[in-house]
Amino acid sequence: MSDQNQMIETSRNSERPESHFLKEFDLLVENAAGGTAWIEHRHQAVKAFSSLGFPTKKTESYKYTPITKRVKSTLSNAVESEMRTSNRAFGDVSGIHLDTSNGVLSTGPLATSLPKGLTITTLQEEAKRENGVLHEHLSGAIVLDRDPFSALAAALTEDGILIHVATGAHIEQPIVIHHDRIAAAGFVQSRFLIVADAGSTLRIIEHFGHLDAGSAFENRVTEIIVGEGANLDHVLVYERSEEATFVNALFVEQGEGSIFKTNNITIGGGVVRNNLNFLPNAENCETHLNGLYIARGASHVDNHTLVDHAKPNCYSNELFKGIVADTATGVFNGKVLVRQDAQKTNAYQSSKSILLDRRARIFAKPELVIYADDVKCSHGATTGELDDEALFYLRSRGLRPDAARLLLLEAFARDVIDLVEVEDMREYLYDRLHQLLTNE
Partner 1 sequence: MLSVKNLHVSIEEEGTKILRGINLTVNAGEVHAIMGPNGSGKSTLASVLAGKDGYSIDEGSVSFDGADLLEMAADERAREGLFLAFQYPVELPGVSTANFLKQAVKSVREHRGLDELSAGDFLKMMKEKAELVLLDPSLKSRSVNEGFSGGEKKRNEIFQLAMLDPKLAILDETDSGLDIDALRIVADGVNTLRNPDRSFVIITHYQRLLEFIVPDFVHVLLEGRIVLSGGKELALELEEKGYDWIKETHAQLT
What is the contact surface with partner 1 in residues (CB under 8 A)? 387-390, 392-401, 403-404, 407-408, 410-412, 414-415
Relative orientation angle of helices 67-77 and 17-30, to the nearest 10 degrees: 60
Positive/negative CA dihedral, 323, 326, 328, 329: positive
By beta-carbon proximity to partner 1, the closer residue of 297 and 384 is: 384
CA dihedral 11, 17, 22, 23 (to 10 degrees): 70
By beta-carbon proximity to partner 1, the closer residue of 32 and 390 is: 390
Q: How many CB atoms lie within 10 A of CB 23?
A: 10
Which three-class secondary structure state does DSSP give residue 11? helix
Q: How far is the CB of 131 from partner 1 (least distance, A)?
A: 50
Q: How far is the CB of 237 from partner 1 (least distance, A)?
A: 20
H-type alpha helices, 95-217: 123-127, 133-137, 148-156
By beta-carbon proximity to partner 1, the closer residue of 30 and 389 is: 389
What whole-number distance in Å separates Cα of residue 219 and Cα of residue 216?
Answer: 10
By beta-carbon proximity to partner 1, the closer residue of 169 and 404 is: 404
What whole-number distance in Å separates Cα of residue 376 and Cα of residue 362?
Answer: 28
Q: How far is the CB of 258 from partner 1 (least distance, A)?
A: 30
Query: Residue 340 burial by CB count (10 A; 0-12/13-18/19+): exposed, middle or buried?
Result: exposed
Q: How far is the CB of 263 from partner 1 (least distance, A)?
A: 16
Q: How far is the CB of 75 from partner 1 (least distance, A)?
A: 43
By beta-carbon proximity to partner 1, the closer residue of 111 and 411 is: 411
Q: How far is the CB of 311 from partner 1 (least distance, A)?
A: 34
What whole-number distance in Å separates Cα of residue 242 and Cα of residue 407?
Answer: 26
What whole-number distance in Å separates Cα of residue 316 and Cα of residue 305?
Answer: 12
Are 168 and 200 in contact by the 8 Å Cβ rule? The answer is yes
Q: How far is the CB of 172 from partner 1 (least distance, A)?
A: 30
Which three-class secondary structure state does DSSP give residue 25? helix
End-to-end CA distance of the chain: give it in Å, rounded. Answer: 51
By beta-carbon proximity to partner 1, the closer residue of 60 and 402 is: 402
What whole-number distance in Å separates Cα of residue 307 and Cα of residue 347?
Answer: 9
By beta-carbon proximity to partner 1, the closer residue of 212 and 418 is: 418
By beta-carbon proximity to partner 1, the closer residue of 371 and 392 is: 392
Q: How far is the CB of 393 from partner 1 (least distance, A)?
A: 4
Beta 315-324 vs 361-370: how paired, if at all?
A: unpaired
What are the φ and ψ backbone dihedral angles of 390, each rounded to 5 degrees? -65, -40
Which three-class secondary structure state does DSSP give residue 410? helix
By beta-carbon proximity to partner 1, the closer residue of 387 and 421 is: 387
By beta-carbon proximity to partner 1, the closer residue of 58 and 397 is: 397
Q: How far is the CB of 427 from partner 1 (least distance, A)?
A: 15
Q: How far is the CB of 396 from partner 1 (least distance, A)?
A: 5
Amino acid at 190: S
- Radius of gyration for the chain, computed over Cα atoms and rounded to the nearest angstrom: 22
